[in-house]
Amino acid sequence: MEQLGGMEQLGGMEQWGLRETPEHLAQRYRHEGFWTGQSLGDFLDELIRADRDREFRVWSEQRPYRGTVGDAYQLAAEVAGGLRRRGVEAGDVVAFQLPNCVEAAAAFWGICQLGAVVVPIVHFYGPKEVGYILAESQAKALITADEFGWLDYLANLDKVKGDLADLEHVIVIPMSDDAPNLGELSGSAPFGEELVVSPEAPALLAYTSGTTANPKGVIHSHQSIVAEIAQLGDIQPEQRLPLLVGAPVGHAIGMLSGLLLPLYLGDPVHLADQWNPPAILDAMIEAGVYAGSGATFFLLSLLDDPAFGPQHAEKMRFIGLGGSAVPVAVGERAAELGISVIRSYGSTEHPSTTGATHDEERQRRISTDGHPLSGVELRIVDDDGRELPPGEPGEILSRGPDLFIGYTDPGLTEESFADDGWFRTGDIGVLDDQGWLTITDRKKDVIIRGGETISPAEVEEVITRLPGVAEVAVVAVPDERLGEHGCAFVRVAPAAAEPTLDDLRGHLEAVGLAKQKWPEELVVVEDFPRTAAGKVKKYELRQGRGGDQP
């Protein structure tokens, strides 16, 4: 029997910035049942074996699929067995970049079976992001598609593979095949070894954009992810339909809601590989499922579609929104259609920090971001770390059983945690006298476009290399459909020609930046509003385009 220990036995990962949970919190999480001692692989195995015959369906024009969860899990066993015979072991890092398809589930579940550390990569990320993630995570293997729509994964990989010293194996999934195909892993003898994996060991390495130029590597343990799924599942309404998930499974929201939560709830799995509102609405009626949870964009795109009608609203009785701004007007509009909305707050680091149940007071559900979920604690502090009373805005500190165990950057881990296990979220919020949280600002200047977090610093770094651009600032501005989009303000070098939006897009495409990160507006300015120290006042730029003050 092979055993992988806790954080003291991490092989090549000891350089990561992992933290120990204070012992009094660890004892509490175990005593209250949040930490069960299971690995993520054991957790999944138990849930899937409880009902292997539930449906697994992918809604797609290119590669539709209909089978069972057991069928997908058998593919996962082939993934695990094939990787193991190629020298991948428990604790190694394995990445996958696939659209929403049955092979994506097989890759994710199979990596978990093996006890390896899984790195999901959003399927539309380009060579810049993929190259950074694979190099920084020291991934030993990558499971990827050959192409999907306009995306050419192999061409992107060719641009960066010379910098990937740790990458030993690339498994290519052919998307042209109608039937499930695991590439060179197809037909591998299923993995059948018995592993004992420490629940404290890393299980998931997710990358999220912040205020730095490159994504941050967020490390979750087996026990933090297992706790997250149980915590999220326990607030779902009993009389619900299965959820059709359109968010990418390479993103935290899609991974949790598409590949993990349905198993915990005993529901079938329904994925869509592209978010096409008319097709989603048709699928809801055909399969008796609902859609629209996640970022606000998903709900509004359905409500705004000409085909939307009462027959759809009837199936969308319970909607959970989070990951982007949720205006009160959205909750009010939904309520008029008989749709109950709850708002939630979280991050890749602390996925389900606050939320609510649908039987709680409607006005609080739609005008605040919820209350701390079971096991979660919040503090609101000033710049000196002093706790503030209800009604006073300050930085949000959180802790709980689903909190991550550190970043791949030890320095970032150190600066992000206060004493006694409190995580500095960098967000500003207010707690009312009953413990309901309202987010009032983001300390970091990130853009949240349709639920996807975009780092302005990353985009600025690329735009600065556009000929003629002397200085650039990218800010979030309101978008009725996506919540926010990026607006690039540029100061042009003397005698240089002013770039057009087409010039900017051509440059970003040439350097391989994912299209979702491209600014959708370009404004040329003579100079920027600045502080006395010369720092650009981004909040004034946001105000000028209809955005909020800090």
Give the residue, 261 or 14, on which the prediction is more confident: 261
Kindly provide the b/e burial profile for residues 470-505, where b requires at least 16 CB atoms within 10 angstroms of the residue's own CB: ebbbbbbbebeebbbbbbbbbebeeeeeebeeebbb
Closest CA to 510 of 123, 127, 122: 127
Closest CA to 138 of 3, 7, 15: 15
Q: Could you report the per-residue pLDDT of 445-466, keeping only the tens digit for each?
A: 778 888 887 878 788 878 988 9
Which position has the token pair 């920090």?
A: 353
Q: Distance between CA 255 and CA 112 in Å, rounded?
A: 13
Count how many Cα atoms sit within 13 Å of the Cα of residue 204 in the half-sphere of its side chain. 31
Closest CA to 491 of 536, 524, 456, 462: 524
Query: What dotted CATH number matches 1-24+39-54+68-221?
Result: 3.40.50.12780
**Six-digit token pair at 302?**
């359905």
Q: Distance between CA 445 and CA 476 in Å, rounded?
A: 8
**Six-digit token pair at 517?**
């990160």
The model's confidence at residue 183, banded by pLDDT at 50, 70 and 90, is: very high
How much is the pLDDT for 11? 41
Q: Which residues in the chain are classed under CATH 3.30.300.30?
A: 447-544
Strands 521-525 and 483-492: parallel
Residue 218, beta-bridge partner list: 206, 407
Model's pTM, two decimal places?
Answer: 0.84
How much is the pLDDT for 8? 44
Grouping H, G, I as helix, E, B as strand and the rest as coil, residue 444 is: coil
Q: Distance between CA 318 and CA 241 in Å, rounded?
A: 9
Average pLDDT over residues 216-222: 95
Grouping H, G, I as helix, E, B as strand and the rest as coil, residue 400 is: coil
Categorise residue 349: left if φ over 0, alpha if ψ from -120 to 50, beta otherwise: alpha
Average pLDDT over residues 293-318: 92
Q: Which residues in the chain are classed under CATH 3.40.50.12780?
A: 1-24+39-54+68-221
Give the residue, 265 or 240, on which the prediction is more confident: 265
Surface-to-core class of residue 537, CB atoms within 10 Å of its CB (0-12 exposed, 13-18 middle, 19+ buried): middle
Average pLDDT over residues 183-206: 93
Asked if the model's pLDDT at residue 67 lies above 80, the reply is yes
How much is the pLDDT for 2? 44
Q: Which residues in the chain are classed under CATH 2.30.38.10?
A: 372-444
For residue 42, give Cα distances in angstroms to 36, 113, 198, 308, 440.
Answer: 11, 7, 11, 41, 40
Average pLDDT over residues 239-257: 92
Average pLDDT over residues 339-347: 94
When mean pLDDT is compared across 8-12, 208-212, 299-303, 425-429, the lowest value belongs to 8-12
Q: What is the residue-averaged pLDDT of the chain?
A: 90
Neighbours of 338 (CB within 10 A): 11
Give the residue, 328 or 169, on which the prediction is more confident: 169
Grouping H, G, I as helix, E, B as strand and the rest as coil, residue 365 is: helix
How much is the pLDDT for 444? 64
Q: Distance between CA 369 and CA 474 in Å, rounded?
A: 26
Q: Could you report the per-residue pLDDT of 8-54, keeping only the tens digit for each?
A: 444 445 667 788 899 999 999 999 999 999 999 999 999 999 999 99
**How big is the chain by its Cα radius of gyration, in Å?**
23
Asked if the model's pLDDT at residue 547 lies above 70, the reply is no
Asked if the model's pLDDT at residue 542 lies above 90, the reply is no
Average pLDDT over residues 52-67: 96
The model's confidence at residue 326, banded by pLDDT at 50, 70 and 90, is: confident
How much is the pLDDT for 535? 62
How much is the pLDDT for 380? 97
Phi, psi values for residue 296, rounded to 5°: -55, -35
Give the residue, 443 or 114, on which the prediction is more confident: 114
Average pLDDT over residues 409-423: 94
When mean pLDDT is compared across 85-94, 256-265, 536-545, the lowest value belongs to 536-545
Report DSSP state, residue 338.
T
Torsion (CA) 201, 202, 203, 207 in degrees, nearest 10: 170
Residue 441, beta-bridge partner list: 428
Q: Distance between CA 119 and CA 140 in Å, rounded?
A: 11
Query: What is the percent of the chain where pLDDT is above 70?
Result: 93
The model's confidence at residue 549, banded by pLDDT at 50, 70 and 90, is: very low
Question: H-helix or E-strand containing 97?
Answer: strand 93-97
Surface-to-core class of residue 178, CB atoms within 10 Å of its CB (0-12 exposed, 13-18 middle, 19+ buried): exposed
How much is the pLDDT for 358? 95
* CATH class as words, domain 372-444: mainly beta
Q: Distance between CA 491 and CA 468 in Å, rounded?
A: 9
Asked if the model's pLDDT at residue 548 lies above 60, the reply is no
The model's confidence at residue 545, banded by pLDDT at 50, 70 and 90, is: confident
The model's confidence at residue 6, banded by pLDDT at 50, 70 and 90, is: very low
**Six-digit token pair at 315?**
């199936």
How much is the pLDDT for 66? 98
How much is the pLDDT for 441? 66
The model's confidence at residue 279, banded by pLDDT at 50, 70 and 90, is: very high
Average pLDDT over residues 312-331: 87
Query: What is the percent of the chain where pLDDT is above 90?
Result: 71
| Overall fold of domain 447-544 | GMP Synthetase; Chain A, domain 3 (3.30.300)
Question: Do 149 and 273 meet the contact criterion of CB atoms below 8 Å apart?
Answer: no
Q: Distance between CA 460 and CA 438 in Å, rounded?
A: 30
Which position has the token pair 């149940």?
A: 357
Cβ partners under 8 Å of residue 197, min gap 6: 3, 4, 39, 41, 42, 90, 115, 222
Closest CA to 131 of 155, 148, 103, 111: 155
Cβ partners under 8 Å of residue 49, min gap 6: none
For residue 473, give Cα distances in angstroms to 2, 460, 546.
Answer: 51, 6, 16
